[in-house]
Every structure is written in C-alpha cells, then in structure tokens.
Homo-oligomer: A and B are copies of this chain.
Amino acid sequence: MKPAFEMALIQRGARLRRTPFFEATQRHGAKGYTVYNHMLFPIQFDDLEAEYWKLVNEVTLWDVGVERQIQITGPDAFEFTNLLTPRDLTDCEVGQAKYVVITAPDGGIVNDPVLLRLAEDRFWLALADSDVLLWAKGLAHGLGMQVELAELRVAPIQIQGPKSKQVMQALLGEQVLGLKYYHFIQTAVQGMPVIVTRTGWSGEVGYEIYLLESDQGSALWESVMEAGKPYNLAPTGPSDIRRIEGGILNYGADITLEDNPYEVGLSWMVDLDQEADFIGKPALARIAREGPRRKLVGVEIEGERIEFNMTKWPVSAAGAPVGRITSAIYSPSLKKNIGYAMLPVEHAQLGTVLSVSVPASGERKATVVPRLFVDPAKEIPKA
C-alpha cells in the first residue's frame, strides 16, 4: 500500500475510518476518496466518463462499505422500525429488502437507506450519509422502546452493469439466478459468509454483496475480481452520470433534512393509509392534502458540455432567484447536460424555461423535463 499523497489531503490522524476493502482499493489504483459516514469512500479509479462506459457496457465493482449497517433487534424491533419510516412494513417478508425513507416529525428526510428484513425481529438499514444511529437511539430512548440498536461491522460492495449476472453466477453459481429485485439470500463466497441483494445505485442490472466478517475485505474483493475477469470487471467509483440518467437521488445533494418525500418525488413511499403511526405522519398527511410547495424536477441545461456541479447552482426565472440545481452532469450517451433542480411548484411544470448560473460560464437556459432521463426498459446507446 502506497502512503499516497492524496490521503494527506483528506485525512489527518485516525478520525476517518477505512472500509474493509481499503487496502484492496489502494492496490487496484483508487485515485480519489470522499468521506461518507465518517469513512473513506473511493470514488475514482479512472476518468469518470471511462468509468461510465465500463458500467454501461460491461460490469463494475464498487467499495460501498460506507453504507453503514444499523441493526434493529429486540422485542419492539418491528414496531420501532415501522415507526421510523412512512413505508408500511407489514408486508415486508423475511428475505425482502425495501428502499425506504426515514422521516423527521416535520416530514423532512433523515436518510434514504435500503432496509433488509433478516428475521421477524431483525432489521438492517444500509445507510446514506447521516448518523441514523444517533437519530434512532435518541428516539428509542425518548419513547422508552425495547430495542437494541447497533452499527455492525458489515460492509457492502456493489457489482453493477449488464454483465453483473454472469459475474455473480461465476462467483456463487445458480442460486443467484433466481434472486428477485429487492430480495436477498444469505450465502458464502469461498467460505466467507455474505448476504447478496439484487439492489444498486446505477440504473443497470446489479447486485450488492454484504461482507459479514470485516477482516475478509481483501479476500472477498480478489474473489470477485477473479470471477469477473472474463467479463472485464473493473473497480470504479459509483457513476453519477448513470445514476442521474436513471433518476436516482443522492442524499445530501438532492435530498436533505429540509426536504420531504412529496418534494423529491418519493411520495410513493408514504403509506398514509396504514393503521400504524410513523414519525412525521401528521405533517406528511397535511403536505399530501395541501400539496408540496417545491418539487425536484429534471432539467436539461443548454450550451457546451458542463463540468459536474460542485455547488448548488442558482436557478432564476425572469431574473429573480427561484431555486437551485442539486445535481448536474454531462451525459455522453444523451449528449446533453442533464440534472435536477429544486423549484417552487409554480416553476416546476414540464417545459418551463429557466436560467441557471453556471460558474465560469454564466447564465444558461434550462428546461424542465421528466426526471427519468433514460428509461430502464430502453437500452443506452453504447459508445
């Protein structure tokens, strides 16, 4: 492992944690790390566009060990977990996963994890970047509920791309072929216990392998690389180009604690009709009745190829500031600048033309479009 200069730039001392795959990502040439859930997160191995084409045409391997697992167990585990999220979990079977939002009393989104139900009274949340353990501990203590809450030493990787099924079959055999979308199995890779889910953050076919023994990170990584060799499996960061094309949201950028599910297009997750209570139910019922005031919409931004937005670019209508771009990127497939904007509903209708202030480039016309830029049913035009 090289004591890379880049590390000094984002780390001082042992405050930031490493995933079990850290050494493997260094060996395989990770060039850039961000910080996510207080851990180093490798986000770049190659040019971002080169990584995009690997994902779209072949198959990629991502270290997403930063998706920390919060485990909820104990006598009140079901009741408590069902209270955390507006989704009705009564129909969530053991072996099933669900994309959920965790909501605050005002309906604001605390996190948007993938939930796994491992037993009647055992749930995991694979977290986006916020300290849900603190939220859950505060709430459980305040309510006096009988739950045990812990962050586990469990770390996922993602295998995403059209050839991911072949890689998974090479790694795990036939058992993986019948795995349904948002379901999981408990199995082993060369004796290493894992959980395998049909989930991912790419809009392509994909899987996650949750490593259960944190000292086996390098061994699991190399096993997957070996199985993927015939399919040109490449380690990459998650692809922001592909996830924006696919209408997928990034917590912290497109969703924050200030935003509710009705604003960010996740109202399908709010089961107001369920009998059980959940945190934020009265606030969300009111928002459902009155309608949200803002909406996260798709936008196409005119002009030359943009660089990835590092800040939330201002959006204006008739010269007056109205909102912000939350994500924006150039899609090499669509040959367009695409992204999302949070806008007041009166400026959020399809076809509305607005102005975006792009750093070092000035004002550009932007048009409100559907947020799903690439239909999952359609094939992306290959490079």
Contact = CB atoms under 8 A, between A and B. Distances in A.
A146 interface: no
A14 interface: yes
Interface stretch (A175-183, A212-220, A303-311): A303-311
Interface string A39-76: 00001100000000000000000000000000000000
A12 B134 contact: no
Contacts of A35: 10, 16, 34-35
Contacts of A38: 129-130, 252
Interface in A1-32: 3, 6-16, 18, 31-32
B131 A14 contact: no
Interface string A209-247: 000000000000000000000000000010010000000
A139 interface: yes
The quantity of this chain's copies bound in the complex is: 2
Interface residues of A, number: 59
A130 B129 contact: no
Interface in A321-346: 325-327, 329
B13 A279 contact: no
Given A35-B10, A44-B8, A136-B138, A3 B360 contact: yes
Contacts of A131: 130-131, 134-135
Interface of A: 3, 6-16, 18, 31-35, 38, 43-44, 104-105, 110, 129-144, 237, 240, 250-253, 257, 279, 307-312, 325-327, 329, 360
Q: Which 8 pairs, one residue from A and one from B, show the smallest C-beta to C-beta distance?
A: A142-B142, A138-B138, A35-B35, A138-B139, A131-B131, A9-B32, A15-B252, A134-B135
